[in-house]
Chain A
C-alpha cells in the first residue's frame, strides 16, 4: 500500500482556534491527500469525535472552552474503535510543558509555528504506527476466525458452537422465543471413504456443508461440524415444527444430489435428529445439554429405523408427544 492510499484511511481532525494556523494546517494536510475536518476548539472536536472516529487528531494546546490537554484526556477516556494518535501543537517549549502534554496522553508534539515538512514527517510516523495497529488487528481477526472455523468445510467448529449454543439458549429463554437444533449425520459415510477414497470423502463434506448453507438463513442460523461427518445446525427463532420442515427439505435435497468427484457421481443420504423449545416449554427442561441429548436421541432413532429420515421432538417430553401426533415426522426412506 503506498502512502497516498494510506492517507485515504486516516482522516485527520484538527482543533485550532487561530484561523491563520488552522488554514495553514488544513492546506498543508489536504495537499498531502488527507481528509481534514477542522474545528475551532476542543469541545467541538470532542463532540465531533464522539460521532465519528478519527484516527489522527492534531490539536492546539491553548484554546477556549476545552484546551488540547483536556481534549486529549477526553479522547483517551472515550471508548474509541481504534487507537487515536494525538499530536499537540504548542508554542510552549519548556520541558515541564512538554512532559505535561505527553502525560495527558498525547503521542507527539509540534512547535508552533510549525514547519510543514516536519509536520508531514510526523504525520507519516503516526500513519506507520496506525497501519501497524491495523495489521495487528487484522491478524488477530484472522486468528479468531481460524480458531472457530473447521478447516475442511469452513463451517464453524465444535468449540465455537459449544460457546454459542448456551448464549442462544439464554437469549431465547429471556425473550420467550423458540429455538431448535438439528443434528445431522451423513449415513454410512465410511462407505464413501472406503469406496471412493478420503479425498472424495472430504469433497463430499465440503459440498454437503455448502448445500446446507443454501437452505439456512445466513445472518441468523449457523452450522458447525460437530464430529467427523456429524453437523449441528442452530436455528434461532424456529420451533421444532419449523426445523422439521427445513430438515425435510435438506434431506430431500441431499438424497437427490450428485456429489461429483473426479467425474464420478457419489450419492449420499443423511439423517436428522431435531430438538427444540418454544415459549410454552418449561424453562427447567431447557439447556444446551438437553437440546443436544434430545437431538442425539432422535438421530439415533433415525439410524435404528433405517436412516435417511427426520425425527424431532421438544426437550419437554409432553410437548414431544404433541409433535408426534401432528405427524410432522418424516418416515419415508
Chain B
C-alpha cells in the first residue's frame, strides 16, 4: 500500500465548545483526486479549514484525531509551522472566491506578491506569467495588467487558482470552486484542474455539493453528513452502488436519476445540525432503513470490500450482496 499524501484520522473539531466535526477519516494518495461531497451543515467546509489551519480564526479547535500530510502531523503545528505549510505545501482556493481578489491591485501585482512570498527563488515576472498559463488564461500578459473587476467571473476564479499554485503546492484544496459560475465556465475550470493534475501530478481535494462535478473529476469520493464521513470509495463504484442510505438518497434526488414525471427521492426531516446531533447515527432520524441499534450507537466508518468504507449499521450485511454484483 502506498503511503498516502494526506491522511485525516478520526478528526474532531469544536467551535466554542460545540462539536462540529467528529470521526472524520479520509485519505488521499499522491496524484489522487478526492471529491468531498455534502450538503449544507455536513461539515465539508469546516474540514477544509481544519486542513489549512484556519480554525482558530472562527474560534474552532481540534479536539480529537490528527491530520497527517507528507510525513508531518499538521494538527501539531504552531503558527510558524502552518505558515510554512500553507501556500507552499497545500494551496487553497476558498469558496465564493470571486470577490476574494484585492480590487485595488492589478492581477499581476497580486501574483507577484504571492510568488515573492512563496517561491523566493523564482524569477517573479516570468513565474507570474507561467502561473496564468497553467490555468489556461488566454493572453496572460494582458491579464497581468488588468484589475479584478475588468475580468469575468470565470477568469477571476482562474486567477484565484493561479494564486493558490504560486507556492508549488503538492495538494490543492478547492472549496466549491465552480459553484457561482455558469455551466460552460464550470467545465473550463474543471479542465484546468484536470490539466494541472496531468502536468504536475498535483493532488486535488475538491469540496462540492454537486455530484456531477465529482463524477467528472474525482477518483475517490467521500460523502459527509452531520459533521462526519459516512461513505468513502471509488467514485464510479459508489455512484453506481452506494453503500450508505444517505448517499443513495443523494443520488436518487438528482433530476437525472429519474425519468420525467417520476418522483425524485426526498429525505424527510431537516439536516442534522451541530448542537442538535441525535444519539446514535446522525442520519437515523431521516433514514428509511433505521433500526434500533442505529438510534443508540453511532456507526463507525468500517471498511467494506474493494477499498470502500461506510458508516452504517445496515451495510456490512448488504455489502456481500453488493460485491457479488460488482
Real binding pair:
no
